[in-house]
Each structure stands twice: as structure tokens, then as C-alpha cells.
Structure 1
């Protein structure tokens, strides 16, 4: 049971889910998950070959040994290694993702919203100009009628 002052947990949860920002967040997560495949394909098909022209295609292979002896790989490795190639690869993936999201989604949407706001503002300004102009015209008509009445000697009795 719940009263108006103390809503049930279920009602609170429903209200939380029905907020617009929760739905927007859910859509963003789904789009982001789908977008991951595109970014991974770009990194695998374009970035890694460019890096491979300088060194190796797999950035995970780049590391620095800070405590000898560094031998082996994976669980059999000895010594202490800093796997800076993995960090570089993840950083490149992040930067590419951010750039693609910005240039393909955020920037066009910002321009679109700015154009919509400018159109709305222009429409409001036009409406104000027309209203002011109509008011000025009506004042001029009134003044002209008063002047004509005065010139013709018309008097209100």
C-alpha cells in the first residue's frame, strides 16, 4: 500500500524509468555498443596497418622491461614489464571513437539545432516587427482621421 505522501518502491522505480534522461541513456548505450564494431573495424583495418608500416601491426607487443630478467610472454613471463603498447592501442581506439562520434553525430546535431533555433528566433522577430508595424500603421490612420476631421471643421456635439 502507498499513500500520496509515501509512494511505494515500485511507483518510485516506474517514475525513475519514465524520466526522459534514462531513456536517452539507454538509447546511447545501445548505439554505443553497436558503434563499437565500426570503431574496431577502423582500428583493425586502417590504424593497425599504418602502425604496422612503422613497426608491428599488433600494438600489444610493445613493452618495456623495468625489472630483469624479462623473458617469455603471458603467464610464463618473468620480470616486470610495462605494456605501453596496449595502453597506446586503447588510447587510439578511444580517440578515434570520440572523433567519429563528434564529427558524425554531435557536430551535425549541434548545427541542426542551431539552425532550428535561428529559424524560430527569426520567425519570432518577424512576428514582432509585423505587430509593431501594424500598431504604427493604426496610429498613423488615427492621426490622419483626426487631422481630416479638424480640417473639415467636424465637431462632435
Structure 2
């Protein structure tokens, strides 16, 4: 009885790296990092000044004190302003990415798909599975037997 030798850790790692998904993921990370700079610049240069006209640009100064007094480093201070600022930055960034990138790209891809279907025409090829083909053959044989051929 021969035992099947398991691949070494190195062989498994090499097979993992050779998959196409790893390369796609690496490209996505690099593009994502570059795109992050664009989005951050847009938020800092355009959105924050627009929000600043309504209120303040720096929410980090807003806090609440849980102890009797908060002077200097003493007392328990909740920095809710920085949490609110980070939340607003996230929501604004997500909205910018969605409305300026995702939505137009999905509309573009939908138009491309519609053009592709229009080029192909209305001729749709019906693909049958192997099971469906076998059922059709069975039904044809049953119909053939029932149309005058006597069973022996």
C-alpha cells in the first residue's frame, strides 16, 4: 500500500502565490492606496471647507467631562468630537466614492452590457444540461415504443 505524500509547506505557498487572485488583490491594494490619496485630498480641500462654512472644521476640541472637574490632564474626558469628525469624514468619503465612482461605473457597465446584447441580437442559444438531454432521449424512446412497436 503506497501512501500519498502531502505537499510541503513551500509547495503549498508557491501554489497559493501562483493563483490569479493574489495578483488581482495586490493590484487592487496598490490602486486603492493611490485612490485614497485622491479621496483624502478631495475631502480636505473641498468638502471640509464647505462643511466649515456651516460649522467648524475641527471637531476634535469638543468633549465632555465625566468627573467633577477636567483641568489639564486630570479627570475623565470623553472626546466625542473626534469620533463625530471621523464618522462625518467616513460618511462624506463613502458618498463621494459612491456618487462619483461607483454609480457612474455601474451605469457605464450596464450600457456596455446592453450594447453587447443588442449586437448579439435576440438569438438566444438554449443550453441544455446533460440530464435534460437524457430526459429528452428517454421521452423520445418511450414515444417511439408507444407508436406501434409492440413490446416482446
Q: Shorter-chain TM-score: what band?
A: 0.5 to 0.7
Gaps (5+ residues) in structure 1? 130-157
Structure number with the bigger relative contact order (C-alpha 8 A, sep ≥ 6) is 2
97 and 29 in structure 1: CA distance in 2 versus 1, 3 angstrom threshold: farther
120 and 44 in structure 1: CA distance in 2 versus 1, 3 angstrom threshold: closer
The equivalent of 1:8 in structure 2 is 8
Gaps (5+ residues) in structure 2? 126-152
**Over the residues paired in the alignment, what is the CA RMSD in angstroms?**
2.8
Q: Which has the higher helix share?
A: 1
Q: Which runs of 4+ in 1 moved over 6 A?
A: none
Aligned partners of 1:48 and 1:58 also within 8 Å: no
Alpha-carbon distance in 2 for matches of 1:35, 1:15: 30
Alpha-carbon distance in 2 for matches of 1:55, 1:112: 37
Q: Aligned pair count?
A: 122
Deviation per residue, 1:95-129 (Å, 9 max, x gap): 22222222333223322332233233333334459
The equivalent of 1:81 in structure 2 is 77
Q: Under a length normalisation based on structure 1, what TM-score does the superposition of the two structures give?
A: 0.61
57 and 105 in structure 1: CA distance in 2 versus 1, 3 angstrom threshold: closer
Matches within 5 A, 1:35-50: 35-50=35-50
